[in-house]
Structure 1
Amino acid sequence: MSSPDGMPPLSAVIRAHDLAAKKELGQNFLLDLNLTSKIARMAGDLPGSDILEVGPGPGGLTRGLLMEGARRVVAVEKDRRCIAALEEVAAHYPGRLTVIEGDALQIDPLEHLTPPIRIAANLPYNVGTELLTRWLTPPSWPPFWTSMTLMFQKEVALRITAKVGDDHYGRLAILCQWRSDPRIVMHLPPEAFTPPPKVHSAVVHLKALAQPRFPADAKVLSRVVAQAFGQRRKMLRSSLKPLGDVEPLLEQVGIPPTARAEEIGLEAFCALARAVAARQT
């Protein structure tokens, strides 16, 4: 029995190549091509874009992206066992899929991609947040990507999209919302995956902003936010002490020194970062 794209079902591919998911690689495979095609459609203009995919595994989302018309997909896979299965997909879509064997944390796939570039991935759980952070903190802005459509554990997705006062609001929310427009576009239960993880998952779509939402130096903002949320239950006048005498700066930008990090919005943090940077010059 073939799938909508005329290739064998993913369950058969896994059996043929002995691709049981490995926990140490953070692998949980999506085998429903209707579901992966739906995720692919959420990535935006596929026919007009090159797509970077990290952790394709046996190729479920890869095939969804190609079925939905992606101009080109560059898939980076660390697990050598999956390469043969992905090469079969490449042969089915001549000239539209490039498979790179390697660690996405250590290689630069940009030489294989032509703008506009979108990122779409069911990220391995053990490196997902680190990859997201790297993609959001390039040396210059705007970044190489126009949007990212990424699968995370539901808790991480909530941290990305959290607002002031939410339990999940913190450093990741500020990092993502300063330079992108993130929203949760799909929720997935554990049984959607093979093997089922112990947690629910969610797909987050992040659209890159042409420039950060508010002016601030990226390194200074990162340092301020890290200190503020490092001891999030403390008042800012205490948690920010490693930055020096911050009470005058807090008052200067209209932040009560007795406030806590979870009560402070992105715009106010950016104002504080500018004040810290100005004092250093």
Structure 2
Amino acid sequence: MSAIDGLPPLREVIRSHGLTARKALGQNFLLDLNLTARIARVPGDLSDASVLEVGPGPGGLTRGLLAEGAGRVLAVEKDARCLPALEEVSAAYPGRLEIFHGDALEVDPVARLGGAIHVVANLPYNVGTELLVRWLSPQSWPPYWSSLTLMFQKEVAERIVAEPGEGPYGRLAVLAGWRSEARIALTLPPEAFTPPPKVRSAVVHLRPRPTPLAPAPAKAMERVVAAAFGQRRKMLRASLKSLGRDPMPLLEAAGIPPTERAERVSIEGFAALARAFAEGA
């Protein structure tokens, strides 16, 4: 399907440029332009908006974003083999696509795009969660991004939107729920990609809360949550010892029983622990 623009179908683009997805880069190319257009519509109206796209590959999602009216797209691609295909997309949308060849962990999107930025990406599986945590963990809040629309393995997506007491609830759910509102926008079958992954994928949409769900210093929140879920089968009085201090005063200050386990603690409870940790309790 190539009806969203006058460019060739993605299978033809991949074939003409000799592209094959590389496992080492976490690549799975999304071929269906109907699906890329649906993903591009998840953030809402992109007219004149700035978009950061990570890992565009041959440009399927890039084309969807531009066809949906995104004013400017910064596409960050580490794989040099994909650059010629992206240059063809840039030529079809003059002045609206900037291609950055490099690592997404090193680019400064604010310096290149400015203003409110929507992040939309079919994330490489090997760096997806690291990027998400970075986007959720700046010291100041609200962040530079207006929304995150990100594709993950479905299992990871479920961990991001899980509630306390649910099996997937963990570090990602706490960090995402603390500072944003997250939902699964759509799921995709393996056959939508080349090569088909062994698992289903899902697109998660996150919008930042104006203020976090409960006050806490960001660094302290990260450390406490990581410690609590680092040994999730243990009671908090044991798992929090990895913080390097007696956990009992922390738990007492936060009003959490020492026999509680991390998966049953609310986001507000973790924020209370983080405040106590930062204050030296």
Is the Cα–Cα contact under 8 Å of residues 55 and 76 in structure 2 kept in the other structure? Answer: yes
SS in 1 for 2:8: coil
**CA distance in 2 between partners of 1:48 and 1:54 (Å):** 19
Q: How does 1:136-155 map to 2 (within 5 A)?
A: 136-155=136-155
Q: Which runs of 5+ in 2 are unaligned?
A: none
Point out 4+ residue stretches in structure 1 off by more than 6 angstroms.
Answer: none
Matching residue's letter, 2:160: I
Taking the TM superposition and a 5 Å limit, the aligned residue runs for 1:251-262 are: 251-262=252-263
| Residue of structure 1 equivalent to 2:47 | 47
Aligned to 1:240: 240
Displacement, 1:241?
A: 2.5
Correspondence 1:276 to 2:252: no
Distance across 2 between alignment mates of 1:141 and 1:2? 40
1:110-136 CA distance string (max 9 Å, x none): 322032210000011111111111111
Range that drifts further, 131-140 or 93-102: 131-140
Matches within 5 A, 1:79-118: 79-118=79-118
Does structure 2 conserve the Cα–Cα contact (< 8 Å) formed by 1:48 and 1:116? no
Which residue is 1:128 aligned to? 128
Does the aligned pair in 2 maintain the 1:149–1:203 contact within 8 Å? yes
User: In the alignment, what sits opposite 2:177?
Assistant: 177
Name the SS for the 2:205 alignment partner. strand
Please give the per-residue CA displacement for 1:213-249, whole angstroms capped at 9, x wherever unaligned: 1100111111111111111111111222244233243
Give, as a single letter, the amino acid of the residue that structure 1 aligns with 2:267: L
Tell me the TM-score normalized by structure 1: 0.95
Contact 1:186 1:202 in 2 (8 A): yes
Amino acid at match of 2:82: C
Q: Which amino acid aligns with 2:86?
A: L
Asked whether the equivalents of residues 53 and 74 of structure 2 are also in contact (C-alpha less than 8 Å), the reply is yes
- How far does the alpha carbon of each residue in 1:11-32 deviate from its partner, in whole angstroms, 9 at most, with x for none? 1111111111111111111111
* 1:78 corresponds to: 78
Identity among equivalent pairs (%):
66
- The answer to whether the Cα contact below 8 Å between 1:123 and 1:152 also exists between their aligned partners in 2 is yes
- Provide the TM-score with structure 2 as the length reference: 0.95
In structure 1, what is the Cα distance between the partners aligned to 2:231 and 2:8?
52
| In 1: Cα distance, 2:114 partner to 2:44 partner | 16
Question: SS in structure 2 opposite 1:158?
Answer: helix
Tell me whether 1:193 sits opposite 2:193 in the alignment: yes
239-248 or 72-81, which deviates more: 239-248
Aligned residue identity for 1:273: A
What RMSD, in angstroms, separates the aligned Cα atoms of the two structures?
1.4
Show the counterpart of 1:21.
21
Alpha-carbon distance change, 139 to 251 in structure 1, aligned in 2, over 3 angstroms: closer
Q: Which moved more, 1:52-61 or 1:97-106?
A: 97-106
Q: State the shift of 1:109 in Å.
A: 3.2
In the comparison of the two structures, how many residue pairs are matched? 280
- How far the C-alpha of 1:98 sits from its partner, in A, is 0.7
For 2:277 and 2:137, locate their aligned partners in 1 and report how far apart those are by CA, in whole Å: 20
1:6 match: 6
Structure 1, gaps ≥5 residues long: none
SS in 1 for 2:186: strand
CA distance in 1, matches of 2:51, 2:94: 16
Tell me if 1:36 matches 2:36. Answer: yes
Q: Is the Cα contact below 8 Å between 2:139 and 2:218 reproduced in 1?
A: no
Contact 2:139–2:219 at 8 Å: present in 1 too?
no
